[in-house]
Structure 1
Amino acid sequence: MPTHTALTSADLREIRQSALGAADPLGIAAELADAVDAGRLTDENDAGFALMLAAEIAESRTKLDAALRYVERAVNTYATRDDSEVGAARALRARILFRSGREDEAMAELEPLRPLLTRYPDAAAYLGAALAVGGRNQVAEEWLTEAVRVALAERAASTEQSAEPVSAEDAGLLFFLLQQRHRIRHAIGRPHDAHDNLAERLESKLARAGASAAAESADDLLFWPHAEFDSMVVQWPALSQSYGGTWDQHRARLERELVRLAGTGRTGLTLLPGSVAGLIGYAGRDGEPADPKTRASYARQLAAGSRQINWPPERNEPCWCGSGSKYKKCCLPRSRG
């Protein structure tokens, strides 16, 4: 356990990685709760995260009464929110209730969370995990089937989209629902249906796209920090077609591309922070900075250096884009657009 007077978000992430291997993990869980009570968190918004971490530690040691106390406090911390964070806390509470033999209470906790499946990509994972602990994979499959039906109906109602997605990126949240449903159906021995076939087609396309991307230029991951982006589009307006018309669009494109690459199994992904001066300097007197070949070559030079930005950060870490906000509040949601 860190000895700092106050615990930072980084401290909590470190604890998450190391607590279960510590000599006294239950003592760490108690100290986390004490840090919340004593106001020893540098960011008060981390209180729910700290209490959920304490609950997970206690759960791992089968101290289910303590785990429930911690997670109930986490849920109360998130009481005024209506987002995926509170959903994850309540799903954790249901999971612990299942382990405690309180199955009816666990299901009563999970049932109201079903609408989150069509709002947040990670909801399929934490709801599925809770139902699996309770031996309710069949229920998970039913919920995901309904969520897929709703997502497809919403898609069909849109005049801007085709009836069936043509890629994982085009599918958006629907892709995550199809994947999770497909895996659960495989686990419980269900025969393939049309949704399973769609999931496999999208996964196959994603894998092929990933293989192609690996052979393409590192220019796809060239990142222009805010001030550099503004200078770049003033100097070369046509590059807004390659990098986005605004900095928000630029960040969203990169986040979606990184999510796509990760989905193909790529690891060690990094962003390559560029600068207008660096690109001009690389091009030299005889090169054209805005030329695609020049930019691709510049990106490869950056990829060989040591200034890459590792991706993804933890949800509570500062965002990779340098905005100063936490990743979960900044660029993480951009991948869902």
Structure 2
Amino acid sequence: MPTKDVLTSADLAELRRSALGAANPLGIAADLAEAVEQGRLAAPEDAGDALALAAEIAEVRGKLDAALRYADLAVAAYPSRDDDRAGLARALRARILFQLGGREDEAMAELTPLRPLLLGQPDAPAYVSAALDAGRRSALADEWLTEAVDKLLAERAAGAQAITATGPAVEVGPPDAPGVLFFLLQQRHRVRRNLNLPHDRNDDLADRLENQLTRRAEQPLTAESELIFWPRAEFDRLLAEQPALTETYGPDWDAHRARLEKELVRLTNAGQTGLGVLSATVDGLLGFAGRRNGDPTDPEIRTGYARELSTRPSARVPWPPERNDACWCGSGLKYKKDCLPRSRS
């Protein structure tokens, strides 16, 4: 897939999914670096993410010198080394250093300060443990992950003062946004399984949480308000102003669109036809809530707003489009390249 003159955040997300399957992935990596250098990103703050993607592509293709060069640029592109995304780029850099050989001390110097990220960054357990595994330090990964899990469990037990028969009470999080503890437990579970370590209490907890999350993800969406669709700009504004709605609509726009796509597929399989979503605006929701003297986070208010939208033909976005037509979400990509695959993930 060739890159465009101007790359949007949606373009980067699509490249992350498809670049390694392209005819010339290393060319895409070079194009990404060039787009950053030439200022061809629609959102300049995406520079670090674009360069980190270039580094990962080059790493997978075995071009470690190029991968390290891109990783160095990625780390430098973030406003601060303390930025969580910069931390992930540093973990990637450490992974590459381990693979280059002879630079193990430098890799560990990069990784060790990242341990606090394990307590708050959902992607950190995978990035940090992958780096340690590349350096044949999987036992150390188990040690770091175990320490982080124990700390989070202790904090939650102390805060909630709730202990169940099988261990501290744990909140998994919604299906589209499982919590940091979930990712820690799952990554620790993988590391220990690869090390052939015996199943312990936290491995049991990891299995229970995964089963719980799977069951919740399989539950159908039933509220009319769940078919509200927030275009990208409206979605970002909504969560900025009403962060409590993250659990309802998803942690990011990709999760929001995936949730809707899966529900529409489920309804189709149940025999429903003439489906679509209701395109919403933050001003519209706030206005409706104001007229009802209600709170926009109240499910009844959101359902009422959805019913109001359903009376406006202009608000309805029909579904599904043809595979080669523009995606219903308004990203500008073809449906087959954007939301269609989300129903299968």
1:240 maps to which residue?
none
1:221 maps to which residue?
226
1:114 maps to which residue?
115
1:11 maps to which residue?
11
2 CA distance for matches of 1:189 and 1:108?
A: 28
2:129 maps to which residue?
128
Distance 1:35 1:195, change over 3 A: same
1 CA distance for matches of 2:3 and 2:180?
A: 41
2 CA distance for matches of 1:274 and 1:50?
A: 30
2:26 maps to which residue?
26
Distance 1:267 1:183, change over 3 A: farther
2 CA distance for matches of 1:82 and 1:308?
A: 42
The question of whether the paired residues in 2 share the 8 Å contact of 1:95 and 1:130 is answered with: yes
Distance 1:97 1:222, change over 3 A: same
1:22 Cα deviation (Å)? Answer: 3.9
The question of whether the paired residues in 1 share the 8 Å contact of 2:98 and 2:135 is answered with: yes
Q: Deviations over 1:24-65 (max 9, x none)?
A: 433332232222222222221121122112212221222211
Distance 1:167 1:220, change over 3 A: farther
The question of whether the paired residues in 2 share the 8 Å contact of 1:167 and 1:206 is answered with: no
1:204 maps to which residue?
211
Amino acid at match of 1:42: A
1:152 Cα deviation (Å)? Answer: 1.7
1:135 Cα deviation (Å)? Answer: 2.4
Q: TM-score, normalised by structure 2?
A: 0.64
Amino acid at match of 1:249: A
The question of whether the paired residues in 1 share the 8 Å contact of 2:98 and 2:107 is answered with: yes
Q: Deviations over 1:136-166 (max 9, x none)?
A: 22111111100011112222332x4524125
1:254 maps to which residue?
249
2:51 maps to which residue?
51
The question of whether the paired residues in 1 share the 8 Å contact of 2:80 and 2:86 is answered with: no
Amino acid at match of 1:131: L
Unaligned runs of 5+ in 1: 227-245, 278-289, 310-319, 323-337
1:180 Cα deviation (Å)? Answer: 1.7
**3-state DSSP of counterpart to 1:132:** helix
Amino acid at match of 1:217: T
**3-state DSSP of counterpart to 1:168:** coil
Q: Deviations over 1:111-133 (max 9, x none)?
A: 11111000111111211222222
- With 55-64 and 66-75 compared, the bigger mean Cα shift is at 55-64
Distance 1:154 1:266, change over 3 A: farther
Percent of aligned positions that are identical: 51
**3-state DSSP of counterpart to 1:186:** helix
The question of whether the paired residues in 2 share the 8 Å contact of 1:167 and 1:205 is answered with: no
Distance 1:45 1:106, change over 3 A: same
2:262 maps to which residue?
268
**3-state DSSP of counterpart to 1:145:** helix
Distance 1:125 1:38, change over 3 A: same
1:72 Cα deviation (Å)? Answer: 0.3
1:232 maps to which residue?
none
Structure 1 position 78 matched with structure 2 position 78: yes
Unaligned runs of 5+ in 2: 232-240, 265-275, 286-298, 311-315, 321-328, 332-345
Aligned residues: 273
Indicate which of 165, 170, 182 corresponds to 2:169. 165
Q: TM-score, normalised by structure 1?
A: 0.65
Amino acid at match of 2:179: G
1 CA distance for matches of 2:300 and 2:43?
A: 45
1 CA distance for matches of 2:149 and 2:125?
A: 11
Q: Deviations over 1:92-116 (max 9, x none)?
A: 1011111111222222211111110
1:253 Cα deviation (Å)? Answer: 3.1
Amino acid at match of 2:149: V
2:148 maps to which residue?
147
1 CA distance for matches of 2:32 and 2:125?
A: 28
**3-state DSSP of counterpart to 1:268:** helix
The question of whether the paired residues in 1 share the 8 Å contact of 2:3 and 2:31 is answered with: no
Distance 1:209 1:220, change over 3 A: farther
Q: Deviations over 1:207-234 (max 9, x none)?
A: 44445x23x72547344769xxxxxxxx
The question of whether the paired residues in 2 share the 8 Å contact of 1:221 and 1:272 is answered with: no
Distance 1:30 1:176, change over 3 A: closer
